[in-house]
Amino acid sequence: MEKPQTLITDNKRLDGRSPEEMRPLKIIAGYLEKADGSAYAECGSTKVVAAVYGPRDVHPKHDSEADKAIVRCKYDMASFSVDGERKRPGPDRRSVEISKVCSGALESVIMTHRFPKTAIDVFVEIIQADASTRVTGLTAASVALADAGIPMTDLISACSFGKVYGTLNGEPVETVVVDLDKAEDNWGLADVAFAYAPNLGQISLLQMDGRITREEFSSGMSYGINMCKQLYELQKATLKKKYE
Ligand code: ADP
């Protein structure tokens, strides 16, 4: 895709959304039969499957911790998940980094001390990528963990926000927007990945690319927290539905 002249015109984004509007959301708990817990999540055309196994024995054994479970999240983008060129299959620097930060974010809400010397394995597979994949992966993974019956202090609800360039009444503007799509992530001026435990009010992941002022950051955070609260309601509803 060529760089667009504007990403937002008179407060209307390329896909017609307003700055604080997220894409349509869908979450399904217990999406796979074989995993101990699983979930599917969709944010616009970003589509993700998460599967959880464990608590189970750790291999290799020396990776285990005497007083708690280890949380190993493996993020992967399927080679068919991106348009245009096929993504080279297998791990790369980006997926290793995302796996590490997602493991940390999920570990912050899992009661790991209840399962010493075990591993909780979380697999996040991106089957269609239209930006915000790590945050949609985290939203799905926390539902999959709850579906596996793993005790947690809260769910993780995660989203992205950022800053895009555009025009307002013909004048150039920079606008803060929530839930970035591929064009906004690619061409935007800044992007933030944000994971939140809504009940605890705790931030478990915060990554940023680009430049943003303090004021822009706080309005992005308030859009982001608002989106996470809506995600949270959807996450709880899908889990309740499964166990009704
Ligand atoms: P996130 O998906 O968490 O926002 P990035 O900012 O790294 O993470 O990636 C933004 C988007 O760029 C991805 O969601 C995907 O649409 C696209 N992308 C990332 N890596 C590749 C790749 N190797 N090939 C094609 N597109 C990619």
**What is the per-residue pLDDT across 26-37, written as a single tens digit (0 to 9) for each?**
999 999 999 999
Q: Model-level pTM?
A: 0.97
C-alpha of residue 181 to centroid of ligand 1, in Å: 10
Query: Does residue 197's CB lie within 6 angstroms of at least one atom of ligand 1?
Result: no
Which secondary structure element, helix H or strand E, spans residue 217, and what is its range? helix 214-243
DSSP designation for 14: T
Query: Does residue 182's CB lie within 6 angstroms of at least one atom of ligand 1?
Result: yes
Question: Closest Cα to atom 5, ligand 1: which residue?
Answer: 131
Instruction: Report pLDDT for 244.
Output: 85
Which secondary structure element, helix H or strand E, spans residue 50, and what is its range? strand 46-57
Q: How confident is the model at residue 192 (pLDDT cuts 50, 70, 90)?
A: very high
> Is the pLDDT assigned to residue 85 strictly greater than 80?
no
Cα-Cα-Cα-Cα dihedral sign, residues 229, 24, 164, 155: positive
- Looking from the CA of residue 133, the nearest atom of ligand 1 is 2
- Looking from the CA of residue 132, the nearest atom of ligand 1 is 4
Question: Closest Cα to atom 23, ligand 1: which residue?
Answer: 87
Query: Does residue 107's CB lie within 6 angstroms of at least one atom of ligand 1?
Result: no
Query: Does residue 132's CB lie within 6 angstroms of at least one atom of ligand 1?
Result: yes
Question: Closest Cα to atom 24, ligand 1: which residue?
Answer: 87
- Indicate left, alpha or beta for 146 from its phi (over 0: left) and psi (-120 to 50: alpha): alpha
Domains with residue ranges and CATH for the chain: 8-239 (3.30.230.70)
What does residue 223 show for φ and ψ, rounded to 5 degrees?
A: -60, -45
> Is the pLDDT assigned to residue 97 strictly greater than 80?
yes
Tell me: the pLDDT tens digits for 40-79?
A: 999 999 999 999 999 999 999 999 999 999 999 999 999 9
Q: How confident is the model at residue 227 (pLDDT cuts 50, 70, 90)?
A: very high
| Mean per-residue pLDDT, 110-129 | 98
Instruction: Report pLDDT for 15.
Output: 97
